[in-house]
Amino acid sequence: MKEPKTLQEAIIYFSDKQNAVDFVVDLRWSEGITCPKCGSKELYYVKTRYLWQCKNKECKKQFTVKTGTIFEDSPLGLDKWLCAIWMIANAKNGISSYEIGRALGMTQKSAWFVLHRIRYAMQQGSLEKLSGDVEADETYIGGKAENMHKRTREAMGIQGRGTVGKAIVFGLLERTTGDKASKAKTKVVPNTKKKTLQPEIRRSVETDSNLYTDALKSYQGMEEEFVHQAVDHATEYVRGNVHTNGIENYWSLFKRTLRGTYVGCEVDHLGSYLDEQTFRFNNRYGNDAERFSLVLGSVAGKRLTYKQLIIKRTFKQLNFLKKLI
C-alpha cells in the first residue's frame, strides 16, 4: 500500500499497526534502530509486541517506537496519534480539542493533551537566523480589562485599562526573497522594554540585515548592528520599503485563529498556540504529507507530561483565562 497523501488515506494506512510502526521507525531511526538508553544497534525484536530489547548486557533496555517521544506513556494507539498529527499539521486555522476528540474517538481531555504534545513537537527552537529584509513587531493578545467584572479585575490586581492584563507576543518576519518564502519567529515576552526585545532580535537576526520596525523606543539604538528603519504609525504606515505589514498580517491571522478555534485559549499556553501557527506558516508551501512527516520527525527526544502542562495554572490565571480573547 502506498504512503498516504490525504487524511482519508492516512486513517486507512495507519489503522494497520505495522504500517504505523514502520512509518515512525523510518523517520526516527533513518540510520537504523538504536537503543535510546545506550545507543547500541544490537537488538532483539519481539514482533508480537512491537518491542525491542537491547542486547548490551549492562543495558537490556526494552523499548518501543513510542519510548522517548511525545507518545511515551500514552495509552492511545499510534493510529490515533498519527491521525491527530495529520489533522493539526494541516488545519489552516487550527483545530480544537473538541473537534479532535469527536473525529478520532477520544475524550476532550485526552485530545487536549494530545494537541499540546503535538504542538511541543512543532516547536522550531532557534534554527537558522533570519536575514535580508526582516520586520519586527510586538502585539497584545486578549485580556480586555475594561470588559472584566470588577471582582475579577481586583482578584488579578489589575488597575486601570488599556494594555494591562494582556499577554505580549513578539514576532520577527523575514520577507520573501526570490523563491524563498517569507518566514516568521514568534515568542511570548514579559514586556516590550528595550532589554527584552533587542536581545531577541540579536539572537534571531543576522547582523547587517535590514530591520524594519515601528517607532517604539525599545527598537532604538541598533544602528551599528542592523540597517534599521522605522515607520511612525502616528503619521504613516508605509514609506517605500519601510513597513511592518508582513508581521502585522501574521498577527491578524493568529488572532483570527485564536478567536475562531481556540476560544478558551489559556494565557500560559499562548506560546504553544504560537508554535503551532508559526510551524504551519513557515511550512505553508509544502503539501499535507510533507507537513505531517516534518512534525512526526520531531517527536523524538521530547517529553511533556500532563503535570508539566497544568502545573503553571493558578487560580488567578484561571480567572484571567475566562476573559481572555
Residue with smaller CB distance to Zn ion, 62 or 124: 62
Cβ 72 to Zn ion shortest distance, Å: 16
Cβ 53 to Zn ion shortest distance, Å: 9
Cβ 36 to Zn ion shortest distance, Å: 8
Please list, residue by residue across 282-304, b when 16 or more beta carbons sit within 10 angstroms of its beta carbon and e when fewer do.
Answer: bbeeeebbebbbbbbebbbeeeb
Give dist(CA 187, CA 313) in Å, integer. Answer: 19
Cβ 38 to Zn ion shortest distance, Å: 3
Alpha carbon distances (Å) from 77 to 20, 47, 114, 244, 309? 10, 17, 12, 44, 21
Residue with smaller CB distance to Zn ion, 59 or 189: 59
List of E strands, 123-225: 133-141, 167-174, 183-189, 210-214
Give dist(CA 190, CA 123) in Å, integer. Answer: 19
Instruction: Judge whether 23 and 82 are in contact, CB under 8 Å.
Output: yes
Cβ 303 to Zn ion shortest distance, Å: 18
Instruction: Give the phi and the psi of residue 69 in degrees, each rounded to 5.
Output: -125, 180
Residue with smaller CB distance to Zn ion, 68 or 132: 68
Cβ 78 to Zn ion shortest distance, Å: 22
- Residues at the contact surface with Zn ion, assessed by CB under 5 A: 35, 37-38, 40, 54, 56, 59, 61
Residue with smaller CB distance to Zn ion, 162 or 301: 301
Residue with smaller CB distance to Zn ion, 65 or 184: 65
Residue with smaller CB distance to Zn ion, 39 or 162: 39
Give dist(CA 70, CA 87) in Å, integer. Answer: 16
Closest residue by Cα to residue 292 from 100, 7, 18 = 7
What is the sign of the dihedral through the CA atoms of 260, 161, 320 and 139? positive
